[in-house]
Structures are given as structure tokens and as C-alpha cells.
Structure 1
Amino acid sequence: MSLTIILLLFSLVQSSLSEDVYPVVLIPGDGGSQVEAKLNKTSVVHYICSKTSDWFPLWLNLELMVPEVIDCWADNIKLLYDSKTRTTRNNDGVNIRIPGFGTSASVEYLDTSERGFSVYFAEMVKRLLTLGYKEMLIFLVHPMILEKLLEWKDKYIRSFISLAGVWAGTMRAMKVFFSMGDNLGSWILNSKSLMVEQRTSPSLAWLMPSSDYWHPNETLVSTGKINLTVSDFKEFYYAFNELDSYEMWKDVRDINKGLKAPQVDTYCLHGTKVDTTSKLIYPPGTWPMGDPVLRTGDGDGTVNLRSLMACNKWSKEQNKPLHHHVFPRIDHLTILRDPGVVNYTTDILKTLNSELDLFSDVKITVVP
């Protein structure tokens, strides 16, 4: 299973007494889960790389992020695309699994050492425990199916809480793919090395700016000779000789077309007022292989404001309530552990659970 597939899984945190509280579904983002690998390869990219192995931590594993060794990591975690079947798969000789089935451990911290730099859902899970959520289990389901099952959602989904949702793509995806890669907010990781793997992920193609929210004449990339827009993605990919990536983009570009309302009680929460890439400007003579100058605008540091706020359109498209709340100066990568956001989110849960008349006397102390 690849990091792309992680986007299609729900981690369900549920009390051992199902009547006590509403179940809470935690949906990790791209790179938001531990991943293990087992190798049985016939060839490697570097003599120091292993051809065979038992199961070992692949993501996140800082031991694999050092120079030269990171080339082994990138080759182990990258995906292969088949343009005939329009699907991706693990690299040859690489088996992948998500550890800790039956617990939330693999999405609490990305590194098994549980050091601070790898914290993900840990703070949220701690707060869930104070609300009465006890035993953890994993529930697997495909969201594309759920989108079509309104009757199922009416019966089983009480509310949907989104944190920093990328509803209409982001210019950061273009920066990641075409120039600089993405170190996922960690100074420890080499973004250029990570770019080798990131370019093979359909999830990155899916995060490209949506033509529903970027105007066809709006310049995304300025090269000194030509200006490129959302109408020019073929030129983008071909300039880097990434023909498979272009095919992946065609596969996923319409998944969120029209951005259909979820038709459930929805909370749309995100940060603002953080410098966020809005345009790539290549100095004369540097396109396409040079490093662009980044022009920034409002957003959460990863997602542009227009994409974060795209959920507001649902207020006119569904009968269920839409609650929109922003957190100024909270960026995309810290929103899960920010005390104010955690407080706000668990207050929502307390309010919803009060429908069950269970939490009127619950007292919670927040330790920043």
C-alpha cells in the first residue's frame, strides 16, 4: 500500500461502549501514516542499498534520510505508473504495509520514536481519550463509494469536521513538482531528494490547482517568454519530460470537479494569514530546470485561501448546516496539534455527544 492509498482510508477511533459517544473518523493526509516495507529486489540504485530485507520502517525513518541512503529510500517508496491500466503500483520487489492495525498508533506519530517532529494525530487522540474514547480499531472504506450513498450518510454520519481541507488544489503542488519538492515542513528532510518520489504519486497530481477556482487567464508560472495557466498543464509536464505524470493528472483532474456538497453537517476549519505560494516566476534563461522565485499570498502556508474557503459554496447546496471557522496564523502542518484548534474541535465533539446526554459534567484541562 502506498502513501497515495492512505488518502483513501478512514481510521476509526471508537469507544468500547458504542452508545457512549459518536464514533470519530480520523482521515490522515498525504504522508500522514507510518509505512513499513519488505524488500525482495533484483536490482538497486546504489551499491549501499539493500536488495532484500524483513519488514522495516519506511516512513517516517530518519535513518533513511541521510545522503546517498535517501536514494535507496526514494527508490523503495516511489510508485510505478501503467498508462494502459491507468493505475499505479509499488516499485518492483517492494511490499508495503501499514503497521499497528487495530490501533491509531500509526497516525499519532509518523516516526516510531514518537519524537516531537513526527507528531501527527497524537494531540487529537489524547483529547479523544479524555472524552471517553477508549479502544481503537481500524475501519477501511473507500470515500468514492460513500459520496454516492446519501442514504448511508444520513443514517451513519452525524457530522464532518475538516481541518485544512485542500478543496480545489494548491499552487504548492506545482512548486513541489516542478522545482523544489516538499520536505513536509521538516528541516531534517531534503526536499530535492523527496521530489523523486513525490513526482510518482497521483495524489500530487490531484493537488494541482483546479480550473474551477483558478481563472483560465490567470498566470501560475511566468518564464520570461511565456505565461502558463491552468489551461497549460500539458506544457508543464512535457517541459520536465514527465509524460506519465501528465497521464496521472488526466486520471485525477475531475475527481473533485464541481466540488459536490457532502450533504452532512459540516465544519470547515483552516488557518489563514500565512505566506503561501501563489505564483512561480522563473528569471530569464532558467526555465524549466532552474529554481523559481516564489510569489506568495494568503493561505495556510500550504493551501491557498481560495481552496481552503471553497467549502463555503456548500452552504447553498445542502440543507445540512455548514460551519466555517478560520484560525489566523495557524499553518497547515501545525493545525492538528495547535491547542486552540484541538480545543475547538473537541468542543464540537462535546456538543455533538451532549445529544446523548453523557457529557454534561465532563471537565477537560488543556495543556499547551
Structure 2
Amino acid sequence: MEERRPPLALVPTAVMVMLSLSSCCVSAARPAAGGAEQQLHPVILIPGTGGNQLEARLTEDYRPSSLVCRVWPPVRGRGGWFRLWFDPSVLIAPLTRCFAERMKLYYDPAADDYRNAPGVETRVSDFGSTSTLRYLDPNLKLLTGYMNTLASTLEKAGYEEGRDLFGAPYDFRYGLAGPGHPSQVGSAYLQRLKLLVETACVANGGRPAILVAHSLGGLFALQLLARNPLPWRTAHVKRLLTLSTPWGGSVQEMLTFASGNTLGVPFVDASIIRDEQRTSESNLWLLPTPKVFGNTTLVVSRYHNRSYSAKNMTQFLRDIGFEEGVESYRVRIRPLVEALPEPGVPVTCLVGTGVDTVESLVFGDGGYDEGPEKVVYGDGDGTVNLASLVGPIKAWSDSPAQVIEVVELPKVSHLGILNDKNALEQIIRIVDSINLNATSTSYHPS
């Protein structure tokens, strides 16, 4: 029988832990005194990796790897811009290669920063709107409605897009770096997000915003808070509500680097997109952190006669053939993930549990190209390990000023949390309690 981690009930009492679901939720929108509609705290939705749309435009510096990539897609109008992520063309093998070479990032050691492939310009459209978070591709039923259910639930509770409900998409390939290292794209996103928060507050009577962030979006939200002074945080952010955030990375990310990961998209050859996925700065950010995983063996390679933990990640990157990622990880990423800064605002973490999640991998004599011959599963949400999901409990529990609430959602997956009925009820419960100026939150065991 596999060893299980201690239940959340055993964590220090300095934090507020919710182990059961609230059995009653009420609408966030209700008449105020005198019959006038109650004014709500603005909500800003920050998506995870898959919830962002990217558009691209090819310039004369673009050097396609094939004739197919030269003529695809046949762009007419719109200034040459076309959908890069997510587009159904990725399902066709020759076009998968075109997609991969356009998505690829390059680390420039001289500039100590990442950039797009030569001849490829990218942009994220509709910043501030929730429209790009609702549909990755309206013509493709697969992967549509990323945050559609969540946004619609908030609208039914009285929220209105552009008034007190906003979206903050970003280029998910880029990340952030530790102190002293530039991150032009990631830092620019934090500035836009900060301005959106300030604008939303002003437009709603000075009421601080509620940040609702899924997966990677939670890490960006935490960095937004950590990189601004405490007076700004308390004046502009009422609560950080995270859904499935990988505070300490994920073992599954090591599989992505070793063999490629199709992210559940059918018919795609993982080996074709592996090189592109390795160049993603944010993927380096999501590797398991020593702070959470310690010396635990996460990967074993019989071909290299080695085992790897989060503490010898640079050796793992070398052995999988990604030498160019070693220095970037060592100087940019590791200093970033070694610290889990205190948010300085109340935090609620919604986490899925009880879903088989990759906990360790064994690769055979054929090496990493053949994929793992054995996968050991543990607790988590199917993508992120439980230890990573509840990382803030240990990191912030010693601070008497930091309020943190953890809500377990049994059998809810990493992506399913955006559509799960109980998860949506919890979100409305939290938003409602804030809008009612509730000083405490009670719950009843389900």
C-alpha cells in the first residue's frame, strides 16, 4: 500500500483549514437597504496555462522548416494575425511541427531573458475582457469553455463583464525570474494586471478586488502581491482565491520535459512538441521545488543509472538532453521558487484531492524518448500533487497576520474544478461573504 501524507487536519492551528464543503450558498447579488442593488467587490479572473489565447503574425525574418509552414495558415486581413493557441490545426501532424516552431521560445544569455522565435510576433487579445477565457476556439468543441461556467456563475450572482467582472489573460509561455534577472514579458503582464486591479477598484467605488486565479495564474497573482508594498495590497486586493495552484510545482512537469506532454489533446505526437515545451519559461517554473518535495526520489532512469529529486534538477535537465535550460533554471528559476512570499491579503485555496496524480516515474534502458515504463500515482488533482497544492499551509502558517483557508474538493480534477458544482458553490460562498462584509465564514459538514 502506498504511503499517504498526513491529513490536512494535522497542520498547525494557526491556519484556518476547511475540510468539508459548505452545505449552503447564497447569491452574491441582493438588494441593499432601500431596494437599491448592492455594490459588489470587483472580480478579476486569472486563467491557468490552457485558458489563454495567443495570436501570431509572421514577419520576413521567419524561416519555416517546410513548405507547409510557409503557406499555412492562409491569412487574409486582420493585419496578418492568426490564432496560434489553441487552433485545431495542431492536430494534423505536418501542422503540429509548424505550431511547435512558432511557439518555441529562445533564451538569450546575453540579455538574460526569453524571446520569441525569429520572425514570430505574438499577442494576447482582449485583456480585461472575459471573452478570451470562455472559449479557446468557438469552432472546436474540444477545450472550449475554459472559464465559461465560472464566469456565467458569477454573472448569475449579479456580476457584469466590464463593470465588476474582468479577465486577465497572458502569454503563458513566459514566466518570471528571481531577483536581479529581467523578465520583460512577465513583468509587463504584472504591470498590466496591477493597472487592471486599480482601474477595477476605482470603477467600483474604491472597493478592493477579489482575484480568482486558476493553476499557473495563482503563481502570477502571488508575485503581483509580493512585488507591491503592503499598503497597496490591502487597499486594492480584498482576497486571493486560488483554484488548483501548483505552489511547489508538479512531478508531471518532469514527464513533460523528459518525453513531452500532449495536455490531453488527441492524435498529437508528444515527441514533436517536446522541444517546444522545454523552451517554455513557465514550464521551468512549474518543475517540482526542493521546498516542497525535498530529497524524495521523483524520477529514476536505468539508462543513466541515476535517480532524481527536486534538489538535483539541473542534472535531470542535462540527462534528458536539455543542456541549454540548465543555466536558465539555475540562475533565474531556482531562486524564484525557493521563496514562497507571504501574500499579505487573505487567501483561500480550493484544491482537488483523491485523483490519481503522477508521483514518481521510472524510465527504462531505452531512455527518455520511449517514455516511462512505470508510473507511480499518489494523491492530488490529477495534475498537481497534494503536497504542492497545500504548500502555503507550511510556508505561511507561522505568520499570525496571514489568513489562509484551504477547501478540499474530493475527486475534483485540476481542470474539472472550473466546472464542478461544489467548487462553484464554494466560490460564490466566498464572494458572497466578502460582499456582505462577513467577518467570519461558517460551514456545515456535508
Specify the TM-score bucket, using the shorter chain as the normaliser.
0.7 to 0.9
Matched, 1:135 2:164: no
Q: Which residue does the alignment assign to 1:364? A: none
Select which of 265, 270, 290 maps to 1:191.
270
Q: Which residue does the alignment assign to 1:37? A: 56
Equivalent residue runs for 1:33-112 within 5 Å: 33-40=52-59, 41-50=61-70, 53=75, 54-112=80-138
Q: Look up the equivalent residue of 1:210 and give its one-letter code.
A: T
Q: Which residue does the alignment assign to 2:398? A: 316
Question: How far off its partner does 1:348 sit?
Answer: 1.2
C-alpha separation in 2, matches of 1:73 and 1:233: 28
Matched, 1:345 2:427: yes
Q: Which residue does the alignment assign to 1:28? A: 47
The SS at the match of 1:278 is: strand
Q: Look up the equivalent residue of 2:43 and give its one-letter code.
A: V
The aligned length equals 338
Matched, 1:307 2:326: no
C-alpha separation in 2, matches of 1:124 and 1:308: 20
Structure with greater proportional helix content: 2
The SS at the match of 1:323 is: strand
Matched, 1:295 2:376: yes
Q: Which residue does the alignment assign to 1:246? A: 326
Q: Look up the equivalent residue of 2:428 and give its one-letter code.
A: T
Q: Which residue does the alignment assign to 2:301? A: 223
Select which of 129, 140, 148 maps to 1:122.
148
Q: Look up the equivalent residue of 1:255 and give its one-letter code.
A: L
Comparing 110-119 and 253-262, the one that deviates more: 110-119
Provide closer, same or farther for how the CA distance between residues 102 and 298 of structure 1 changes in structure 2, counting only shifts above 3 A: closer
Gaps (5+ residues) in structure 1? 1-14, 357-368
Q: Which residue does the alignment assign to 1:256? A: 337
Identity between Structure 1 and Structure 2 (%): 29
Select which of 235, 248, 273 maps to 1:155.
235
Question: How far off its partner does 1:188 sit?
Answer: 5.2
Residues 326-366 of structure 1: CA deviation (Å, up to 9, x unaligned): 1111111211111221121112111111129xxxxxxxxxx
Q: Look up the equivalent residue of 1:223 and give its one-letter code.
A: S
Contact 1:46 1:71 in 2 (8 A): no
The SS at the match of 2:437 is: helix
C-alpha separation in 2, matches of 1:71 and 1:128: 39
C-alpha separation in 1, matches of 2:360 and 2:90: 32
C-alpha separation in 1, matches of 2:312 and 2:272: 26
Matched, 1:207 2:286: yes
Q: Which residue does the alignment assign to 1:170? A: 250
C-alpha separation in 2, matches of 1:150 and 1:215: 30
CA RMSD of aligned residues (A): 2.3
Q: Which residue does the alignment assign to 2:352? A: 271
Comparing 131-140 and 249-258, the one that deviates more: 131-140
C-alpha separation in 2, matches of 1:325 and 1:145: 23
Matched, 1:281 2:359: no
Q: Which residue does the alignment assign to 1:362? A: none
The SS at the match of 2:397 is: helix
Question: How far off its partner does 1:320 sit?
Answer: 4.0
Q: Look up the equivalent residue of 2:287 and give its one-letter code.
A: M
Q: Which residue does the alignment assign to 2:25? A: none
Question: How far off its partner does 1:123 sit?
Answer: 0.7
Question: How far off its partner does 1:256 sit?
Answer: 3.1
Contact 2:226 2:342 in 1 (8 A): no
Contact 1:278 1:296 in 2 (8 A): yes
Residues 180-201 of structure 1: CA deviation (Å, up to 9, x unaligned): x222233354433332321111
| TM-score normalised by structure 2 residue count | 0.71
C-alpha separation in 1, matches of 2:234 and 2:140: 37
The SS at the match of 2:291 is: coil
Gaps (5+ residues) in structure 2? 1-28, 30-35, 169-191, 195-220, 439-446
Residues 262-308 of structure 1: CA deviation (Å, up to 9, x unaligned): 1211101110111111111122x223433212111111111111001
C-alpha separation in 1, matches of 2:224 and 2:416: 30
Provide closer, same or farther for how the CA distance between residues 150 and 159 of structure 1 changes in structure 2, counting only shifts above 3 A: same
Residues 218-275 of structure 1: CA deviation (Å, up to 9, x unaligned): 2222123222222322221112331221122121122132312212111011101111
Q: Which residue does the alignment assign to 1:359? A: none
C-alpha separation in 2, matches of 1:308 and 1:278: 13
